[in-house]
Structure 1
């Protein structure tokens, strides 16, 4: 191996590790909030409301972060397409870590009244903007360094999502197990958020060692380089719309299984720790699923893998709530493992490479980020909409039908794209 090849291989390994670790940290912070919103925030920041209404309000603050994600994709995508991927990734990581740490020291509603949920929403929006810029840059850091097996290497960024869920849910479960209910509500829930500052230091140390991607460094400026967003809207409108539809069902299913199910299962009589433990197991297994299905998509294509996942999730949607309503922890575990670790990774794993293959280099950060982050609003809306539907008296069958319909939209959009797994990222 020549020095150039060795250096390239070293940078690829660094890029993959940096993207995985950065994604883990970002999703640790972002999904920690989601789990806390399902279990704690309705009692800490909305304690003056009826419990069910407080849950809806808590999920509303969760949704605010998802609404902010497309803004982050546009903002960081703009500068990432103009000046490079690495600079933006350092900023997004620092922003997320600081916002999450500040959530850990927020006063409660009982202490400062309405100012508490207002501050919570403000920090959640900052989290959303940071994650909106993080994902696209992290995916491109690996995809544009890779010369082969792009699906596998890019999927390490997506593997950071369930890994972050494992760490965040595991830390919450440990704190919940080591404290009483009163202690957990008073101060225990803050510990995982304060832990963010240590993860931030580690992540920045690794990320600063990665070089800019060779694909970006060698690319010629786009015609409208000053405004990558306009270039995407002008030259790639169909790809942008398809990317939104492809991700939408995956995000709705993901949020239903990893966020709403936590609240639903606890309200159905399961112990908080038992639900969190089931989620930790399924999230850990999902990492293997994401990497495995993404590697498979390098061999047979993105479309067949993702289409099977979309249709499979239609079936899972109608089995999910009956299995939970059984009252059996074993069946709860089976439901979330099949949903999150077996079927959902088919839809979600190859998504990273697919999005990077749908846009040109000088608009790729903006295009991939915008498609991914707009579709992710489905994840933010799902717990809020489902909680509201149940509060209005809807049956869980209605919730299953919503998940199934969204996955069929994903399948339709997958059918509408051409196969991309052998495309050249340097092609303008």
Structure 2
């Protein structure tokens, strides 16, 4: 019963994260300067590497303070219970939040959508496809270099799990700074171009990483993971702003959340399983690298389908009363 309950609860949590991500992105970007949307929206993107560091830091502390028998018996539960502190903190934040100026303008004009999911599918199909496809390569690359790399390092390179985990944590610590840097850079250069070049780098890097680490060197493994997560940062940093910009203001929350959830299913959720199956079937890293390269092509395709942002859509007077099909909203003043 315990594993079944855990899977069900994790599934519910995953659905919740999809909706929460869209809200977090819009709160951070719509309260900020539209000309710096990439930087402000990237605040939500720091969550995965920061959470990775916090979670593994707690486990490391428990491992140092408890014996192995104590950790297996009850210590692991402490980490789950401590996460409840974050839940309380999140609920407290919710009680203090106000709606964004863009949302308030729509509410005042009574232009809020009554069936937002249906409207997204019927009026923004290209935007939704672009947003979903753009997420695939970042999710798959992250799964490879934070999850599967632990299996690969221990099973194929004969390294200890602790050594592989240390490499991932070092890469994650760099991401905490690189993600907002990438978001800010995307405000100064074309966001889609920066995202696309990073996706191409993501498709190439596994062909370098696997031969680089073939000798089982921990410094080279760490270097490979740091570079990979750096490439991921330059996709993940601009990603939030890019996805939000695909939808008109009145459907931005729903469209972004749908894209995040659906892309997670076809991207990061299945990636570790695919990596494992490919390695078992071919006993070679080449199919894994080809898989990542394929996802890079998928993401570049999504970026080509997408559009560049329009700052005027966040001007209160310019919130559209009806959703545009695929083009940016036109101004009314």
Q: Deviation per CA, 1:106-161: give whole Å up to 9, x if none.
A: xxxxxxxxx22211211111211221111001101111112341110111001122
Contact 1:316/1:339 (CA < 8 Å) preserved in 2? yes
CA distance in structure 2 between the aligned counterparts of 1:183 and 1:338, rounded to whole angstroms: 37
Offset of residue 329 of structure 1: 1.2
Question: What corresponds to 1:331 in structure 2?
Answer: 220
Are the structure 2 counterparts of residues 125 and 294 from structure 1 closer, same or farther at C-alpha, using a change threshold of 3 Å? same
Contact 2:313 2:319 in 1 (8 A): yes
In 2, the alpha carbon distance for the partners of 1:218 and 1:345 equals 33
Among 109, 124, 129, the residue aligned to 1:241: 129
Query: 1:380-419 maps to which residues of 2 (within 5 A)?
Result: 380-419=269-308
Which of 181, 191, 195 in structure 2 is aligned with 1:292? 181
| Shift, 1:181, TM fit | 4.9
Deviations 1:325-378, CA, capped at 9 Å, x for gaps: 3211111111110001x2111111111111111112221111011112211221
Match of 1:371 among 255, 259, 284: 259
CA contact (8 A) 2:249 2:313 kept: no
Listed one character per residue, the Cα deviations across residues 66-113 of structure 1 (whole Å, up to 9, x for unaligned) are xxxxxxxxxxxxxxxxxxxxxxxxxxxxxxxxxxxxxxxxxxxxxxxx
How many Å separate the matches in 2 of 1:339 and 1:129? 27
Aligned to 2:203: 314
Q: CA deviation at 1:424?
A: 2.3
Aligned residues: 312
Question: 1:421 Cα deviation (Å)?
Answer: 5.9
d(CA) in 2 for partners of 1:177, 1:347: 35
Separation in 2 of the partners of 1:129 and 1:160?
16
Q: Classify the secondary structure of the residue corresponding to 1:211.
A: coil
Asked if 1:347 corresponds to 2:235, the answer is: yes
- Structure 1 unmatched ranges of 5 or more: 1-114
1:277 paired to 2:166: yes
- The whole-number CA distance in structure 1 between the counterparts of 2:131 and 2:312 is 16
TM-score, length basis structure 1: 0.69
Residues 159 and 402 of structure 1, relative CA distance in 2, 3 Å threshold = same
Q: Is the contact between residue 172 and residue 192 of structure 1 (CA under 8 Å) also seen in structure 2?
A: yes
Say whether residues 1:127 and 2:16 are aligned partners: no
CA contact (8 A) 2:117 2:254 kept: yes
Change (3 A) 1:177 1:401: farther
Alpha-carbon deviation of 1:186? 3.9
Distance 1:323 1:179 in 2: 37
Q: TM-score, normalised by structure 2?
A: 0.87
Q: Measured at CA, do residues 162 and 211 of structure 1 come closer, stay the same or move farther in structure 2, by a change above 3 Å? A: same
Is 1:192 equivalent to 2:79 in the alignment? yes
Deviations 1:372-398 (A, max 9, x none): 221122101001111222233441111
Q: 1:407 Cα deviation (Å)? A: 0.9
308-317 or 204-213, which deviates more: 204-213
For 1:127 and 1:385, how far apart are their aligned partners in 2?
A: 23
Once residues 246 and 211 of structure 2 are traced to their aligned partners in structure 1, the CA distance between those partners, rounded to angstroms, is 38
- Corresponding residue of 1:262: 150
Any residues of structure 2 matched to 1:163-178 within 5 Å, and which?
163-178=50-65
State the match for 2:42 in structure 1: 155
1-structure distance, mates of 2:30, 2:161:
42
Q: State the shift of 1:222 in Å.
A: 4.3
SS where residue 420 of structure 1 aligns?
coil
Contact 1:302/1:421 (8 A) holds in 2: no
C-alpha distance in 1, partners of 2:105/2:269? 37
Match of 2:28?
142
